Structure 1
Amino acid sequence: MNQAIESFQLPPPFPDHTQLPDSDGTFVKNFQEHPQSILLTDSIGPVLEQIHPDGQYVIGQDCGIYWRETDPPEKGAEAPDWFYVGNVPPNLDGEIRRSYVLWREFITPLIVLEFASGDGSEEKDTTPLSRTEPGKKPGKLWVYERIMRIPYYGIYVIKTGQLEVYNLINGFYRPLEVNERDHYPIDPLGIELGLWQGNYQNQSLLWLRWWDNRGNLLLIGDERAEQEHQRVQQLEQAQMEAIPRLHQMGLTVEQIAEALSLPVQQVREILKVN
């Protein structure tokens, strides 16, 4: 009996993100893919910071989500072009994540997005594991729907500019309807996903963008900085135009400076008075 116990060995524990491949060796499929991911991540940042003031969330860009153990390991992973997981730490044991291992964290991404270079058939593949040929992976949509059970799945076919979003209802994906702005509402985040024609990183294309639930475009850092610059310029212009009017109304230089929160000397120079 004791000899039998001594000879028994537990199976090795599930590998973690440091032990699993972080790439399958394939090329990025098009020049829009990485800028598109950055555009989505940059603009949604302030929203996620409000939802997660503790910083407990993860955004993956072309990173693997491991959902089962296989040999080789990457056969048991999908690598969405963009995904978001809430209420998980951005780093693990002080290390930057190399992948997201679903069997260790058990928290499903809320939304995954695929940027299809082809016609979208690969992203809509529903082939189950039971019907998968040896050496092949099951269909991507089947994995997201039946195994990972991801609530929102978006497919953007770059060539045609077609966007489709699915919502998991009673265990199955159903097409999500657009609202009056032709946007797809992602209700748990209070935002909308849609298409935007514009220039980003020297490419004038049709891009995926986020809006808030009132239809306001969520801006990236450069756009926020430009918006603030324009606001300051407009404020300065309004102050310059107000100074002579207030002076004509009989206000002193000191009163004008206080009313407009300007240095007294600046007001004197504009009015050309001592």
Structure 2
Amino acid sequence: MTSIITASPNLGVSLPDHTQLPESDGTFVKNFQEHPQSILLTDSIAPVLQQLHPDGQYCIGQDCGIYWRLTDPPERGAEAPDWFYVPNVPPTLDGQVRRSYVLWQEYIAPSIVLEFVSGDGSEERDPTRITGKFWIYEQVIRPPFYGIYEVRQARVEVYQLLAGKYYLVTANERGRFPIPPLGVELGIWQGRYQNLELPWLRWWDANGNLLLAGSERAELERQEKELAQQQAEEERQRAEQERQRADRLAAQLRALGIDPEA
């Protein structure tokens, strides 16, 4: 049974920081889709976050631990969301890459936490006090938005924290869920990414435009450049045809004894 170590900064007890706590609980990613899904979310939201945080003060966790209590062993006092975003915190601590996100060291809760369901979703919806993932997010970590993504059902369930309790968010007319802290919408997109054809969890802007990943932006730019080159070549060919037509007409006029320049 996990034992809870009680300690309080107010009592002068030295609490461990991110460098002293385990960065892994020994588990591994459940399937081949989870890492590409996290990368897609991070990559496509990057331009939005750069606008929201021109000073670079934010961090994103991908399958990283959020420590919320002291336990023995320590890793049992952490949850490791598949993806989360925290505003207004430095991306590194004391010049070091974060090993985990420690609430008693940071104090700022994530704005949104996302879990990718690998089973039947009961773990992500477990309201059991102290041990249930849903309870921990709702009552302790308290991100304003909590999303449960089920790739097999091609759906995402989004909860918003209101008055200390999670309530289901209703999808908008586009079938997506507004996330006001980010100024974006969250929803499902069916398509191919990193050689996988799946219903992916993705972001859209407030106008309903899909936020593209870097590879997609590069491909779009390549297509636009190719189209521009094609249009330029067509314009060049039209100009050449017009020149040739003018040359033929001038030759015909000269054959009739008429100066084409007159």
TM-score bracket for this pair, using the shorter chain length: 0.7 to 0.9
2:127 — aligned with what? Answer: 126
2:258 — aligned with what? Answer: none
SS of the residue corresponding to residue 37 of structure 1 reads helix
Q: Which moved more, 1:78-87 or 1:182-191?
A: 182-191
Rg (Cα) greater in structure: 2
Q: CA deviation at 1:245?
A: 5.3
1:177 — aligned with what? Answer: 170
Q: Which amino acid aligns with 2:67?
A: Y
- Is this contact kept in 2: 1:167–1:175, CA < 8 A? yes
Q: CA deviation at 1:84?
A: 0.3
| Distance in structure 2 (CA, Å) of the matches to 1:243 and 1:158 | 49
Q: TM-score, normalised by structure 1?
A: 0.81
| Distance in structure 2 (CA, Å) of the matches to 1:140 and 1:112 | 11
| Distance in structure 2 (CA, Å) of the matches to 1:47 and 1:249 | 48
2:133 — aligned with what? Answer: 140
| Distance in structure 2 (CA, Å) of the matches to 1:188 and 1:26 | 31
Q: CA deviation at 1:240?
A: 2.7
| Distance in structure 1 (CA, Å) of the matches to 2:194 and 2:229 | 30
What are the within-5 Å matches in structure 2 for residues 66-145 of structure 1?
Answer: 66-129=67-130, 138-145=131-138
| Distance in structure 1 (CA, Å) of the matches to 2:29 and 2:82 | 10
- Is this contact kept in 2: 1:124–1:141, CA < 8 A? yes
Name the count of aligned residue pairs: 233
What are the within-5 Å matches in structure 2 for residues 260-271 of structure 1?
Answer: none
Q: Does 1:43 align with 2:36?
A: no
Q: Which amino acid aligns with 1:231?
A: E
Q: Which amino acid aligns with 1:170?
A: A
Q: TM-score, normalised by structure 2?
A: 0.85
Segments of structure 2 that go 5 or more residues without pairing to the other structure are 1-10, 244-262
> Which of 208, 220, 225 is residue 213 of structure 2 equivalent to?
220
Q: Which amino acid aligns with 2:109?
A: T
| Distance in structure 1 (CA, Å) of the matches to 2:43 and 2:237 | 42
2:226 — aligned with what? Answer: 233
| Distance in structure 2 (CA, Å) of the matches to 1:228 and 1:157 | 32
- Is this contact kept in 2: 1:37–1:81, CA < 8 A? yes
SS of the residue corresponding to residue 215 of structure 1 reads coil
Q: CA deviation at 1:186?
A: 0.5
Q: Which amino acid aligns with 2:206?
A: N
SS of the residue corresponding to residue 148 of structure 2 reads strand
SS of the residue corresponding to residue 71 of structure 2 reads coil
Q: Does 1:163 align with 2:156?
A: yes
Measured against aligned partners, the alpha-carbon deviations of 1:130-171 in whole angstroms (never above 9, x if no partner) come to: xxxxxxxx1111111111111000001222223100011111
